[in-house]
Structure 1
Amino acid sequence: MGRRGPGASGAAERDPSQFVDLTDAADWREDGIDRAEAVIRFVEQLPITAGVLAGERMRLRDWQREIVRSIYATDDDNRRIKRSALITLPRKNGKTQVCAALALAHLCGPEAESRGQIISAAADREQAAIIFEEMRAMIERHPELTDRCNIRSFNKLIEDDVSGSTYRALSADARTKHGLNASFVIYDELAQAPNRNLYDVLATSTAARAEPLFVTISTQSPDPNHVLSELVAYGRKVLDGSVDDPTFHATIYAAPDDADWLDENVWHACNPALGDFRSLEEMRVAARQAQHIPARESSFRALYLNQPVEADHRFIAAADWDGCRDEIVVEALKGRQCVAGLDLSATRDLTALVLYFPDSGAVVPYFWAPGERMDVREETDRVPYRTWQRQGLIEAAGERAIDKRAVALRIGQIAQDFDLTGLAFDRWGFDELNRILDEEGIDGLPLVEFGQGFKDMSPAVSALERAVLQRTLIHDGNPCLAWNMSNIAIDEDPSGNRKITKSKSRDKVDGAVALAMAVGLAAKMQPAQEYDFDRDLVLEI
């Protein structure tokens, strides 16, 4: 079959000597085999297109076969049970070849259906093209697939003339994402997606199909609010039996967060191909470099061990912040001494008020955001504001701008419920709030002006850091506060003084600033240590 249309390619352009040898290949069309076995046989007819084994046929390993058998298992009516699949594993474990092979199985193999729509998705055009290029290379080296498939390189489209199915590569920056009727979707490296828009569109595009399948294959995301993190959390619940969902498959190869990242046993446990087609020596070299170049440690852990760690260094590591998590019963804190930090926002940002109870280290945060266009801010900031609002973690105050009266009334309530001994505030924007407090008859508050420069913030930053690292601070895992803490960037002057800088932080830090102010004010308010200089000094040796 020859060219048809711009950029199309067909069998006439291929040298038959380059075709993969199918002499002893098992027939994927054989009667009596189940659907999973048919997919396995089809995949193992496909050629390896790069590396030292190029030209040979693919050979699935036992762990890969287990994944395929789980995804393509059927019920008594021979209908595939799984509708969604998550495969998360470190890089260089053969995911690109598996993605391409499964896409071909649905385009022109045992899972092909009449006029199916097969889609591979990725965060950007370059990533989206990777699976397309792998599929094209496989087709061009397979005699039957070359004859029946028409490849259009210009728009990353492949047509199968037998089933009438089409494949296309789609990226998050594509102009047209709606109007799809997908039968099979594979999302490559979902962790890199800037938002969940494309994922949601594709997830809802399969409703008209009888047996749709959505496969996500990716390393983990360091962002706990990312859609991939939601899938991983859900997948773990399915695996441990706490959620009963027979339609969802999860394969998770990842080192525990507290694992020794230099332990080769840990490497093998989360890299199923290590020592096989994934080079152990290359991994050893990367680990040695990571030991001597600190900036590479996080990349090694993220890409080689599939841990959800940040690719850059933060003020407080996620593991240290999570180590301070414990249950907090707010009712039990009523009447107890507390200190508060207040970070007032500009008109449309977050406003945060955080209570800190010095005797127990308990932290109780409050957040406000404008109610109007919260969905737009949710997309911009890539956090679930509306979900947090429904959970009572954020209060919608005002429409386009935050109504400071809601903040004032909350402060008044806090002053009644707790022994509020100090309220640290930044003078910026406080005049209006102070006027509203007067109007509401909320007076006698222990207000303490707290500067945002090095003078006031450096001791506060150190006090907060010390409280977290020494585990004397307790929080209940509030996701908005955790998000703020993960965004912190620190400025340091030549004398080593530090402050939180909003301009350099990766996203909103209002809750973190309010917490630092509260902890810093509590440290200031501690009574000075008294010493008896008349007492004899005894040195123990």
Structure 2
Amino acid sequence: MPRRRAAPPRFPRRLPRGPQLWDREKSRWSEENTDGVFACELIESYLRLTKGPARGTLVQLREWQADLICDILRLDAKGRRQYWTYLLLVPRKNSKSLLGAGLAIDGLFDEQGAEVYSCAAAKDQAKIIFGEVRAAVEMAPELDAKQGGLLKVYRDAIEYPATGSVYRALSSEAFTKEGLNPSRVLFDELHAQPNWELWNVMNQGSDTRQQPLVIGISTFGVKSDASGQDSVCYAQYQYAKKIIKGELEDLRYGARIYETNDRVRGFDYRDQQVWERANPSLGDFLDAEKMAAAMRKTPEGDFKTKRLNIWVSKATVWLPEGAWDRCAAPDTAIPDGVDVVLGFDGSYNNDCTGLTVVRIPETLRFDPDAAEYASLEDDQKQRLFKVRNAGLRLPHLDVVQLWERPADAGQDWTVPILEAEEAIREACRRWQVREIVVDPARWARTFQILDSEGLPVMAFPQSPERMVPATGRFYEGVMNQRFTHSGDPRLARHIGNAVTKPTTRGPMVFKDSKSSPRKIDLAVASIIALHVACSPPEGPPEPQFFSWDDL
């Protein structure tokens, strides 16, 4: 009887990386020790790149990618699937989407009646995941049933009719997942899961499956969730590290963790040699120059967490020293009658309330965050921005009014509500106001009144879903000097008081503590106003027509 070929170690001391292509003949992996060989051949034979200049070409797996897939689908001595749970932590831009799509499609061929699910924290993210898998199937004639292939693609599902297998995307916001019988589950961006509910349900729902597999794929993120407990991702990270170090034994749990050691002497997160440890594709399809560009326009904490896989739990200073002052244009004014957006943030008592104004550029020729530019590289975006916005007046930010508790006022001081309401009306008489962007918390009645008067009130709750992209746009605008401000010292003080803290969606601005006397209301009002001012206005809804048969 031929001797069974030994598989590579479960936890190699040095994780594979680099641009070398996978060569099955030179690998220690075989059908005897992994189901990953089939998965790799499936991916390289049928899956095509869905983004970038190489869109439409067949995937060529790197050695580290194939080794990872083979490890995930490793077999034990009895020929059964080794792992029931697997944790993959790797920074952004290292082909997590490609690997996830390949493993999802492979899962459809895993067994009769397979149920494959990809899970995300939010509905929008779940749609993106499903869209990636659907695009991969539709670009492969051998897979897409409409082109004679094996898999049927529906609006919200992909089916393999020959075995009754199905793939769907779920989110934490979706309906209850009780009753599912998953055979393979892929958690996309596990760090964003708001709590343990979905993770627990999907791990406990496959008890009747012979080879269940739950894969958590993520970057690093926050250490604790909203309840103060260890987040799902951080808890899995700690558990995996104990297994890797030999402190625990769990033969059914596997992991690959690409991370940066920031505790060594002389550590500098800006050093490109530091980036190599956490990014297996650096120097290949992850270009070091583009990563350097990302570092320059990304807050330090966010860059460390998402691009270097370093856990960041404490608040960090928001803007680098001098960056805000470089955007000052004190001689610039916002003339009466021009198009503007107002930003309002505040509370009622023992705090302060701020009203800001942002002038809208006459013509917004190029929005670097627009969907049509999403596939462009950073340097291409920079060139287009300079060319298309040449000669345009940049957005300009100023303070309309600030109501802040005086130092000698007592604890019973309150914001003068009627005065704040009249200041908003006066601003609407002075300028052509497109939107009054407000967080309705505590001020709902005021803005119901203003809305009933016909003023353009726009609710902007300070949720991570809204504030994270708005904060990112403001930060990038400061770092690239894409807007100017009046140099108002009150605004500068509030900007300087703001710190960033990680959330499940990314960094947001906060006070350094809930009880801190250092206010940031003008900073928040500026962030939301600039975000709306630099976003193209929503057009009227397109008319829809229906045939009589559909009515």
| Paired position in structure 2 for 1:141 | 139
RMSD, matched Cα: 3.0
Tell me: CA distance 1:312–1:282, structure 2 relative to 1, closer, same or farther (3 Å): farther
Q: Secondary structure of 1:120's match?
A: strand
In 2, are the aligned partners of 1:302 and 1:310 still within 8 Å (CA)?
no
| Paired position in structure 2 for 1:287 | 295
Q: Secondary structure of 1:148's match?
A: coil
Q: Which structure is larger by alpha-carbon Rg, 1 or 2?
A: 1
Q: Give the drift of 1:205.
A: 0.9
Counterpart Cα distance in 1 of 2:232 and 2:31: 41
Query: What is the aligned length?
Result: 292
Tell me: CA distance 1:237–1:162, structure 2 relative to 1, closer, same or farther (3 Å): same
| Paired position in structure 2 for 1:491 | 516
Q: Give the drift of 1:76.
A: 3.3
What percent of counterpart residues are identical? 34
| Paired position in structure 2 for 1:269 | 277
Alignment of 1:62-101 (within 5 A): 62-101=63-102
Counterpart Cα distance in 1 of 2:32 and 2:250: 28
Whichever residue aligns with residue 239 of structure 1, its letter is I
Alignment of 1:58-207 (within 5 A): 58-108=59-109, 112-146=110-144, 147-153=149-155, 156-207=156-207
Please give the TM-score of this superposition, normalised by the length of structure 2.
0.50
In 2, are the aligned partners of 1:87 and 1:216 still within 8 Å (CA)?
yes
1:254 equivalent to 2:259? Answer yes
| Aligned with residue 298 of structure 1, among 298, 301, 304 | 301
Tell me: CA distance 1:105–1:298, structure 2 relative to 1, closer, same or farther (3 Å): same
Counterpart Cα distance in 1 of 2:247 and 2:101: 32
CA offsets 1:369-398 (integer angstroms, 9 cap, x no match): xxxxxxxxxxxxxxxxxxxxxxxxxxxxxx
Alignment of 1:423-502 (within 5 A): 488-489=513-514, 491-492=516-517
Q: Secondary structure of 1:39's match?
A: helix
Alignment of 1:336-375 (within 5 A): none
Q: Give the drift of 1:312.
A: 4.8
Q: Secondary structure of 2:302's match?
A: helix
Tell me: CA distance 1:313–1:34, structure 2 relative to 1, closer, same or farther (3 Å): closer
Tell me: CA distance 1:278–1:241, structure 2 relative to 1, closer, same or farther (3 Å): same
Whichever residue aligns with residue 254 of structure 1, its letter is E
Q: Give the drift of 1:164.
A: 0.8
Tell me: CA distance 1:31–1:309, structure 2 relative to 1, closer, same or farther (3 Å): closer
| Paired position in structure 1 for 2:44 | 44
Which structure 2 residue ranges, 5 or more long, are not aligned?
Answer: 1-23, 225-229, 319-510, 521-551
Tell me: CA distance 1:113–1:311, structure 2 relative to 1, closer, same or farther (3 Å): farther
Counterpart Cα distance in 1 of 2:175 and 2:512: 30
Counterpart Cα distance in 1 of 2:272 and 2:63: 21
Q: Give the drift of 1:34.
A: 5.1
| Aligned with residue 246 of structure 2, among 241, 245, 270 | 241
| Paired position in structure 2 for 1:351 | none
Counterpart Cα distance in 2 of 1:31 and 1:212: 19
Counterpart Cα distance in 1 of 2:106 and 2:205: 20
Tell me: CA distance 1:188–1:34, structure 2 relative to 1, closer, same or farther (3 Å): closer
Counterpart Cα distance in 1 of 2:197 and 2:512: 22
1:57 equivalent to 2:82? Answer no
Whichever residue aligns with residue 149 of structure 1, its letter is L
In 1, are the aligned partners of 2:32 and 2:75 still within 8 Å (CA)?
no
Counterpart Cα distance in 1 of 2:232 and 2:91: 18
Counterpart Cα distance in 2 of 1:245 and 1:187: 20
Counterpart Cα distance in 1 of 2:295 and 2:243: 33
Whichever residue aligns with residue 131 of structure 1, its letter is I
Q: Give the drift of 1:135.
A: 1.1
Tell me: CA distance 1:74–1:489, structure 2 relative to 1, closer, same or farther (3 Å): same
Q: Secondary structure of 1:276's match?
A: coil
In 2, are the aligned partners of 1:187 and 1:217 still within 8 Å (CA)?
yes
In 2, are the aligned partners of 1:302 and 1:311 still within 8 Å (CA)?
no
Q: Secondary structure of 1:119's match?
A: strand
Alignment of 1:202-213 (within 5 A): 202-213=202-213
Q: Give the drift of 1:126.
A: 0.9
Counterpart Cα distance in 1 of 2:121 and 2:57: 31
Counterpart Cα distance in 1 of 2:512 and 2:216: 27
Q: Give the drift of 1:286.
A: 2.0
Counterpart Cα distance in 2 of 1:124 and 1:311: 25
Structure with more relative contact order (C-alpha pairs < 8 Å, separation 6 or more): 2
In 1, are the aligned partners of 2:272 and 2:288 still within 8 Å (CA)?
no
Counterpart Cα distance in 2 of 1:101 and 1:141: 13
Counterpart Cα distance in 2 of 1:76 and 1:218: 29
Tell me: CA distance 1:249–1:32, structure 2 relative to 1, closer, same or farther (3 Å): closer
Q: Give the drift of 1:257.
A: 3.7
Which stretch shifts more, 167-176 or 216-225?
A: 216-225
Q: Give the drift of 1:287.
A: 2.1
Tell me: CA distance 1:197–1:34, structure 2 relative to 1, closer, same or farther (3 Å): closer
| Paired position in structure 1 for 2:480 | none
Q: Give the drift of 1:196.
A: 1.1
| Paired position in structure 1 for 2:13 | none
In 1, are the aligned partners of 2:33 and 2:74 still within 8 Å (CA)?
no
CA offsets 1:3-43 (integer angstroms, 9 cap, x no match): xxxxxxxxxxxxxxxxxxxxxx99xxx99895221111112
| Paired position in structure 1 for 2:504 | none
**Structure 1 residue ranges (4+ consecutive) displaced by more than 4 angstroms after TM superposition:** 30-34
| Paired position in structure 1 for 2:237 | 232
Counterpart Cα distance in 1 of 2:315 and 2:257: 24
Counterpart Cα distance in 2 of 1:175 and 1:288: 41
Tell me: CA distance 1:143–1:222, structure 2 relative to 1, closer, same or farther (3 Å): same
Which structure 1 residue ranges, 5 or more long, are not aligned?
Answer: 1-24, 291-295, 316-485, 499-541
Counterpart Cα distance in 2 of 1:48 and 1:289: 27
| Paired position in structure 2 for 1:313 | 316
In 1, are the aligned partners of 2:221 and 2:306 still within 8 Å (CA)?
no
| Paired position in structure 2 for 1:525 | none
Tell me: CA distance 1:205–1:288, structure 2 relative to 1, closer, same or farther (3 Å): same
Q: Give the drift of 1:96.
A: 0.6
Whichever residue aligns with residue 191 of structure 2, its letter is A
Tell me: CA distance 1:268–1:82, structure 2 relative to 1, closer, same or farther (3 Å): same
Q: Secondary structure of 2:244's match?
A: helix
Alignment of 1:25-36 (within 5 A): 35-36=35-36
